[in-house]
Structure 1
Amino acid sequence: MVRNLYGLGLYHCDVPLASTLPRESFSSSSELSSSHGPGFASLNRRDGAGGWSPLVSNKHQWLQVDLGERMEVTAVATQGGYGSSDWVTSYVLMFSDGGRNWKQYRREESVSGFPGNTNADSVVHHPLRPPLEARFLRFLPLAWSPKGRIGMRIEVYGCTYRSEMVNFDGKSSLLYMFNQKSMSPAKDVISLKFKTRQTDGILLYREGQNGKHVTLQLVRGKLILSLNSGHSNLPSPDARVTLTLGSLLDDEHWHSVLIELGNTHVHFTVDRHSQHFQAEGECDYLDLDCKISFGGIPGHGKSVAFPHKDFHGCFENLYYNGVDLIDLSKKHTPQILVTGNVSFSCSHPQIVPVTFLSSRSYLALPGTTGEDKVSVAFQFRTWNRAGLLLTTQFQHGPAALVLILNDGKLRLSLSQPGHLARDVTAGAGLSDGQWHSVSLSLKGNHLSVMVDGEAAAVAHSLRGQIDSGDTYYLGGAPDKGRNYGLKCKSLGGLVS
């Protein structure tokens, strides 16, 4: 496997990727002038103004590079603008497969981003451990030269990423059948990546006699590995083992899984987090049938006695004891039984979630001037019992609308000059980490609110006419500078 060779130092993955790209592969939030455009942002470039600078230096700017295809990225490097007083002293690195659904790269040694430059022309290089896989990268400046403005030149290092994908539609599965004598390893090693927007689904299932089985399933956005030894006479900790890792894993980002299963032990890793279990009694977790299913349970198995749902989403680089199962599936080998509609590509999501990671995070969406109606629809999820969901100030007068989560309930407060604030409360138990839908409608002097398809107890009549706000803030607000970790989905639906 490529990654094993890389880990042994036998595989070199440090080729400059950005400097060989055409100028059209670079884009940005804005540019100071045509000579400060993103096409001049390659490392050591001196033409144009010698690098990228945005029109305004603030924390809302970004520089993006399109690598053309998904690549393995092992390092990044930055410079400031050539021969100038413009450079970036710290930045955040984001990555994406399709250019819409972004995720922040988090360094183990720092949660605040990457240290940048202290002058214009020195190169600051950062290895990425572990590497990331993406087509698009974004550099978001956090701080810059106090004597100048934002200025960046960048390089990205890595290599071609080998990727085999399979897509399950929620009614399909792969069944791998093998010869036990030819395999007979000291332990089973299963590795894969997955991404989905469904909270529940079976990733793998293998069974044996007397109810013995190994199951990996997504339950309410968490991965649960279950082992049943099939021996009711064993101590309960050994007879049934349940290991849980991850949270909110249905975010349409890739998550890596590694399972190492021995006769009496199991090591379970999701992304960078691991759990280990060692049985005290006489267990044999490997004494199972010579077949293992992925994405679902064909025929529902011999002894499936638990509620389950088939997986809807994508797997990538699925290996069982070193065997590339997706490659076998594409070749239609008799070892693989395909059930249902399975395809060997993975589409990009049409609905993109936005994650608010800090107290300074928020999303600002423009309103439409001169309209007397507002329609807002979105979904959110959070584990926090309190948080700001939406706020806006209407165009005429100090009237304001604030939508918050309070004690797990949704509360809408509408303040109008000369009148007491009007409050509407709806829903309950909304801080359970699951998706909840909210729709809000204001037209003329009428207000209505719905949560998860149910209308609030009373639709209120407003005093006077309400006009659309200039800006709608979701997940936080710039003046308050606070946020409660809410994650909102489908933050469009603003119709004026």
Structure 2
Amino acid sequence: MARVNHADFATVQVREGMAHLSFDLGSGNTSVSVPRIINDAHWHKRSILTVDGRYSKHTVSPKKADILDVVGMLYVGGLPLNYTTKRIGPVLNTHTHGHTHNRSVDMENPVSSYRVGSCFANPQPGSYFDGTGYAKAVATYRVGNDMSVDLEFRTSSSSGVLLAISSQKMDGVGIELNNGRLLFHADNGVGRVSAAHQPDEEAGLCDGQWHSVTAHKLKHRLELIVDGKKSEAASPDARSASADTNDPVYVGGYPEGLKQFGLTISTSFKGCMRNVKLTKAGKVLEVQLNKALDLKGVQPLTCPTV
């Protein structure tokens, strides 16, 4: 929190794993830290400046100033992208990967929020999709003749978009879960061709367990490998080999109004995904959803346990 000109400010940050307090009441800034590592994924309590009620440090403002004159805006977990820190000093731009709670601050109803999700009990690595949106993961990607997609997912829903790359004219590729079947589509401009995986079990791919998917586009041919089982398909027109895209990569869904020639559904995915990779000409692009260009209904880096 800070005054408009930052003559007064107060900030609590985690630096190098320890809690740091800095403030200025108008007569000079001061800072103090507690030499106790707290980035251990456990809950910690902080006051000025006490950690877990046992480890504390005290400091006194210069000239015995005792009024913190700030505007009525409190930021928790990070700062807006266009926020100028001025005298506060170097604030870490990597927003807090963790959770906070406080009885006196209504964290459930903030004035505004940006990429703030829910707390999950016993979370595991991955990204959570709540079934309402998508992640715009890469600005532009050319599919061309050959490319591969690798990902892992788990869900209890029978349908949902997993990944899509499409031009707005006629070419594209996509992976979707459609009524329990896993489908890999490609359109090189002469019509969609699809490789399909039909699971054996009754619950199949909607059992809440992790499933692996590898999809290869090899010119006019498709190979789909789901949990080690391969399915294949090929276009009758072998002369059309390239999906000419220079378009975004969408994961878990896509914005309303966009054409997707590599999909047959528009249902957003609900569940968790991890280890999403695109491979072309031997170069692997690891899709990091915490760095996505746009997120809607997606909580990166954490998944609830089953």
Give the TM-score normalised by structure 1: 0.33
Distance apart, 1:438 and its partner CA? 0.6
- Name 1:404's counterpart in structure 2: 176
1:151-175 Cα deviation digits (max 9, x unpaired): xxxxxxxxxxxxxxxxxxxxxxxxx
- Name 2:273's counterpart in structure 1: 488
Q: What is the aligned counterpart of 1:465 among 241, 248, 265?
A: 241
Structure 1 runs not aligned, ≥5 long? 1-14, 26-41, 47-66, 84-92, 97-102, 117-138, 143-246, 253-351
Q: What is the aligned counterpart of 1:440 among 204, 215, 219?
A: 215
- Contact 2:137–2:251 (CA under 8 A) maintained in structure 1: yes
Report SS of the residue matched to 1:488. Answer: strand
Give the TM-score normalised by structure 2: 0.50
- Contact 1:94–1:105 (CA under 8 A) maintained in structure 2: no
Distance apart, 1:401 and its partner CA? 2.0
Report SS of the residue matched to 2:233. Answer: coil
Cα 1:141–1:445 shift into 2, 3 Å? closer
Q: What is the aligned counterpart of 2:128 among 348, 355, 358?
A: 355
Q: What is the aligned counterpart of 2:196 among 420, 425, 433?
A: 425
Higher relative contact order by CA 8 Å / sep ≥ 6: 1 or 2? 2
Larger-Rg structure: 1
- Contact 1:392–1:401 (CA under 8 A) maintained in structure 2: yes
Q: Distance in 2 between matches of 1:449 and 1:377?
A: 10
Q: For this pair of structures, how many residues does the alignment match? A: 200
Cα 1:371–1:449 shift into 2, 3 Å? same
Q: Distance in 2 between matches of 1:378 and 1:384?
A: 17
1:449-492 Cα deviation digits (max 9, x unpaired): 11111111x33246302246432211111236962313111012
Q: How does 1:243-254 map to 2 (within 5 A)?
A: 249=122, 251-252=123-124
Cα 1:455–1:473 shift into 2, 3 Å? same
Distance apart, 1:16 and its partner CA? 5.1
1:169-193 Cα deviation digits (max 9, x unpaired): xxxxxxxxxxxxxxxxxxxxxxxxx
Distance apart, 1:431 and its partner CA? 0.6
Write the letter of the residue equivalent to 1:440: A
**Pairwise CA RMSD:** 4.6
Q: How does 1:77-226 map to 2 (within 5 A)?
A: 77-78=74-75, 81=83, 95-96=96-97, 114-116=110-112, 140=114
- Name 1:17's counterpart in structure 2: 12
- Name 2:224's counterpart in structure 1: 449
Distance apart, 1:373 and its partner CA? 1.4
Structure 2 runs not aligned, ≥5 long? 1-9, 27-35, 48-72, 86-93, 258-265, 282-306
1:398-417 Cα deviation digits (max 9, x unpaired): 21223211122212333454
Report SS of the residue matched to 1:483. Answer: coil
Distance apart, 1:95 and its partner CA? 4.3
Cα 1:414–1:379 shift into 2, 3 Å? same
